A and B are shown apart, each in its own frame.
Chain A
Amino acid sequence: MARDVRPGETSKPGAERAVETGGGDEDLERRRLQLEAQLATRRPASRDGKDAQNPSSKTGFGNAIKLSSEFVAAIIVGVGIGWVLDQWAGTSPWGLIVFLFLGFAAGVLNVMRSAGMVAEHGTKPPSTKDGSG
Chain B
Amino acid sequence: MRVANDPIHQFQISKLIPIEIGGLDFSFTNSSAFMAASAIAAAAFLYFGSANRALVPTRFQSMAEMSYEFVAKMLRDSAGSHGMKFFPFVFSLFMFVLFANLFGLFPYFFTVTSHIIVTFALAILVIGTVIVYGFMKNGLHFLKLFVPSGVPGILVPLVVLIEVISFLSRPISLSVRLFANMLAGHITLKVFAGFVTSLSAAGAVGIIGAVLPLGMTVAITALEFLVAFLQAYVFAVLTCMYLNDAIHPGH
Contact = CB atoms under 8 A, between A and B. Distances in A.
B169 A106 contact: yes
A129 B150 CA distance: 14
Contact of A77 (B151, B168, B177, B251): B168
Nearest to B240: A132
Contacts of B161: 102
Interface residues of B, number: 36
Contacts of B244: 132-133
Interface in B80-98: 80
Contact of B151 (A59, A123, A130): A123
Interface residues of A, number: 35
A89 to B, nearest CB: 16
B67 to A, nearest CB: 16
B230 A62 contact: yes
B118 interface: no
Interface stretch (A9-17, A26-34, A63-71): A63-71
Given A73-B172, A133-B244, A78 B165 contact: yes
A23 B173 CA distance: 49
A123 B180 contact: no
Nearest to A110: B166
B176 A73 contact: yes
B177 A105 contact: no
Contacts of B168: 77, 81
28 contacts: A54-B237, A59-B223, A59-B230, A61-B184, A62-B230, A70-B173, A72-B172, A72-B173, A72-B176, A73-B170, A73-B173, A76-B169, A77-B169, A106-B163, A106-B165, A107-B169, A109-B162, A121-B148, A122-B151, A124-B150, A124-B251, A129-B251, A130-B251, A132-B77, A132-B78, A132-B80, A132-B248, A133-B241
